[in-house]
Chains A and B, each alone.
Chain A
Amino acid sequence: MRLRHWRQTRLGLLFVGPWIIGFLVFFLYPFFATFYYSFSRFTGIGNPVFTGLANYSELIHDAVFRTALFNTFYYTIIEVPLSTVAALGLALLLNMKVRGQAIYRTLFYIPSIVPVVASSLIFVWIFQPSFGLVNSLLSDIGVEGPTWFFSITWSKPTFILLGLWGLGQPMVIYLAALQGVPKEMYEVAALEGAGPLQRLRMVTVPMISPVILFNMILSLVLSIQYFTQAQVIESPPGSPGTSTMFYVTYYYQQAFTDLHLGYASAMAFMLFILVLIITVLLLRSSSRWVYYEND
């Protein structure tokens, strides 16, 4: 009995082994090393010099860091709920029985597979202040458009629009989830006299709530690490002013431009704590709105 137990464990570990090695080398070690570096001054050459909590106390007083935190929250708090509602709404539309539905589904999905650098370039061009399509169309109806990516007030909302354009991934996941809801449930609800909105609220949303939770966590974690599009579009990074200085934008500047590796490590660790808190809060709240079917 003991022997069989051990042989099974050995076999399992043998198969999972590649990941365990990868986890230790590319994950656990660097994670703890980041934590260690965060208490030091380090330029990547020589050894880190232990400085205690200096990096953390500097962070608290760093105005740019606060701006980066604010910009990231701004983007996340608007983007996550908006994209969730929009993706779900589109999935509901695409789940209707309409002629040519396959074409609509394809059209809505394709922007999400456009390479991120390409979609960034497309949006810079469309929202180009003087010759871009959007401002040109706006001027046709007598509206003078803002400078979008180059305006301190409009830069973040424009990034949110760029994010919304590529919500095909969650949309398809919601669509698949909608198709998994048993049809009889709608029939019963209809017999009970539930209207379309009631059916949506009482049947559809509860039935796919685990999928909504999964997608919200994913999109939250991604939003908090928002970086690539801003890095491609804004030059210098973070401009105009500091309006697109996102958390990771500032991290990248600290780590790879200024070589403040200790300081950047402290930022990385703070981000970890932040993501952890937000995920735990979301999971906690989930017991109130997520419905798990008992299999």
Chain B
Amino acid sequence: MHTAVTSDSRPASAAGSSESPRKRRWTGRKMGASAGKHIVLIALSAMFGLPLLWMVLTSFKSAAQALTLPVVWWPHPILASNYPQLFAALPFFRFFLNTFVYAAVTIVGVCISSSLVAYGFSRLRWPGRDAVFYVMLMTLILPFVCTLIPLFVMYKRFGWIGTYLPLEVPTFFGSSVFSTFLLRQFFMTIPQSLSDAARIDGASEFYIYRRIILPLAKPAMATVILFQFIYCWNDYLGPLIYISNQSSYPLSLGLALIIGDYSTNWAWVMAGATAATAPIVILFFLTQRTFIQGIALTGTKG
């Protein structure tokens, strides 16, 4: 298990006690309070963890065993064959590949455009900057349906329907407001004196962006890449609207297919859900720090 979910492991106690550490004696009352906390936390853990545990357990059962009453907790025999069978029945590798390509292209788009835009909103001073920035933030609350139909008509005219272009091209034009916002917050923490020194040396603004700020912003860029990847992995709505051919399906649409086609075979449905969830959970454990810092960066300093 990794060490800490939060970057800051400072033991701040909101409603807790404020005794000095020297006098920490395990009196009966304190032990009771501690046990009480653990009971609450463990009960909640069960509620949060059980659905995932049940998903994994079901995925290793036979179709018949999944429908046994009273429920069988532990699959016996442990059946791994659901996975290859499901992957043979549906072009799952294709779905994974489509998702990866979608993610890769948009990650490039977001990294280029959001960093440039964030730079303009944080490292440069120009009249109207903050007003324009607020307009950008306001677009976050606009419901997506308010622009959807004209966009669809426009993309149809371009011949983009059925391809990922409607989901990819906008990312090259700063469509990921979240990434821009996150990068701006990070850029603002870099001392202005660094830029000033470079300017005195005659560096161009693009040089400062490319050679000084971007290298310093690697952790923030890592967060942006991670979140964009997860966004694409998760995205159901975008592909639902623009992708119609099954061979172009991303994972999300492919996964939704199973429940339509094999809704009686719950072991298969759960094998699909597990296959879609496991990579993200593994990624989370590998990148925990980047993850949590990113959320905190966008969430608290708004």
Give chain A's interface residues, CB within 8 Å of chain B. 5, 8-9, 11-23, 25-27, 29-31, 33-34, 37, 44, 90, 92-93, 95-99, 102-111, 113-119, 121-126, 128, 130-131, 133, 136-137, 140, 165, 169-170, 172-173, 175-181, 183, 186-187, 190, 196-197, 199-200, 204, 210-211, 214-215, 217, 221, 224-225, 227-228, 231-232, 235, 248, 251, 255-256, 261, 264-265, 267-269, 271-272, 275, 279
Q: How many A-B residue pairs have CB under 8 A?
A: 318
For this complex, 13 residue pairs linking A to B, each with C-beta atoms less than 8 Å apart, are: A16-B120, A19-B113, A19-B117, A37-B149, A93-B44, A104-B44, A124-B259, A130-B69, A181-B14, A221-B141, A256-B241, A265-B149, A268-B146
Look across to chain B and name the residue whose beta carbon is closest to the beta carbon of A272: B146
Q: In the bound complex, how far is the Cα of B15 from the Cα of A121, in angstroms?
A: 38
Which one of A102, A125, A136 lies within 8 Å of B69 (CB-CB)? A136
Assembly CA distance A21 to B111 (angstroms): 17
Chain B residues whose C-beta falls within 8 Å of the C-beta of A23 in the assembled complex: 135-136, 139, 173-174
From A13, A95, A224, give the contact of B126 (CB < 8 A): A13
Contacts of A123 in B (CB 8 A): 51
Complex interface: chain A residues within 8 A of B230 (CB) = 113
| Complex interface: chain A residues within 8 A of B128 (CB) | 9
A116 contacts which of B10, B51, B234 (Cβ < 8 Å)? B234
List 6 tightest A-B contacts by C-beta distance, closest first: A22-B173, A15-B120, A19-B174, A12-B126, A173-B299, A33-B150
Taking a contact as CB atoms under 8 Å apart, the answer to whether B55 and A125 are in contact is yes
Contact present for B175 and A26 (CB under 8 Å): yes
Contact with A along B106-145 (1 / 0, CB 8 A): 0000001100110111001111110010011001111111
Picked from A20, A34, A235, the residue with its CB within 8 Å of the CB of B150 is: A34
Contacts A105-B6, A200-B15 supplied; 9 other A-B pairs, CB < 8 Å:
A9-B126, A30-B146, A30-B154, A31-B142, A33-B149, A33-B150, A172-B5, A181-B14, A261-B149
Contact partners of A131 in chain B: CB under 8 A: 66-69, 71, 266
With an 8 Å Cβ cutoff, the count of chain B residues facing the other chain is 109
> How distant is the Cα of A272 from the Cα of B262 in the complex, in angstroms?
38
- Nearest A-chain residue to B302, judged by Cβ: A214
- The residues of B with any CB-CB pair to A shorter than 8 Å are 1-6, 8-16, 18, 34, 37-38, 40-41, 44-45, 48-52, 54-55, 58, 66-71, 112-113, 116-117, 119-121, 124-129, 132, 135-136, 139-154, 156, 170, 172-175, 180, 205, 209, 230, 233-234, 236-237, 240-241, 251-252, 255-256, 258-260, 266, 269-270, 272-273, 276-277, 280-281, 284, 288, 292, 295-296, 299-300, 302
Residues of B within 8 A of A169 (CB): 295
The complex places the Cα of A235 from the Cα of B22 at a distance, in Å, of 62
A99 to B34, CA, bound (A): 9
A25 lies within 8 A of B173 (CB): yes
* Most central of B13, B41, B58, B156 by chain A CB within 10 Å: B41
Nearest Cβ in chain A — how far from B246, in angstroms? 15
Q: Which residue of B lies closest to A221 (CB)?
A: B141
A265-B9 Cα distance, complex, nearest whole Å? 49
Please tell me if the beta carbons of B259 and A126 are within 8 angstroms of each other in the complex: no
Shortest Cβ distance from B212 into chain A, in angstroms? 14
Give Cα A194–Cα B81 distance, bound, in whole angstroms.
60
Closest to B233 in A: A115
Inter-chain contacts of A231 with B (CB < 8 A): 236, 240
Indicate if the CB atoms of B52 and A122 lie closer than 8 Å: yes
Contacting pair A176 B149 (CB below 8 A): no
B145 and A15 within 8 A (CB): no
Are B150 and A272 closer than 8 Å at their CB atoms? no
A215 touches B299 (CB 8 A): yes
Contact (Cβ within 8 A) A113 B284: yes
Contact call A117/B276, Cβ cutoff below 8 A: yes
Interface contact A110-B48, CB-CB below 8 Å: yes
Determine the residue in chain A with the shortest Cβ distance to B237: A228
> B236 contacts which of A9, A122, A228 (Cβ < 8 Å)?
A228
Most B C-beta atoms less than 10 A away, residue of A5, A16, A227: A16
When chains A and B are docked, how far (Å) is the Cα of A190 from the Cα of B1? 35
CB distance B173 to A21 under 8 Å?
yes
B252 contacts A22, C-beta separation under 8 Å: no
